[in-house]
Amino acid sequence: MKHEGDILQDVYQVILDRQANPTDSSYTASLLRGGIDKILKKIGEEATEVVIAAKGGVPQEIVCETADLVFHLLVLLGHQNIPPAAIYAELSRRFGTSGLAEKASRPSNLAP
């Protein structure tokens, strides 16, 4: 069985391909063509749909909406030329550290 993390890289590679070889029939290419504002708007919409699905408590709806959100986050990463490996590395760096301690250790310009 393929490691679950590989699908994120596979999707990211397709996003990069759509960026390099856009077609009018590609939803991903249209997002990338729309630029950062279009991508961020979709991320906001998808995040809201995850919240609504979670509030509804139907597991399959939560899964579907979360997949939509993750996809749009991958489009953002592709647009910004940030590979998923950078996110994996950051999560690995944080693993085993208290969330409160990790936030406190960030430079003040990175903390929310």
Q: Give the domain ranges of the chain.
A: 5-105
pLDDT in tens, 13-56: 999 999 999 999 999 999 999 999 999 999 999 999 999 999 99
Indicate the fold that domain 5-105 takes in CATH: Helix Hairpins (1.10.287)
**pLDDT the model gives residue 1:** 42
Residue 31: CB atoms within 10 A of its CB come to 22
Q: Which of 10, 71, 64 has the alpha carbon at shortest distance from 39?
A: 71
Which residues 6+ apart lie within 8 Å of 69 measured at CB? 43, 46, 47, 49, 50
pLDDT in tens, 71-83: 999 999 999 999 9
Q: Supply angle C-alpha 11, 16, 19, rounded to 5.
A: 130
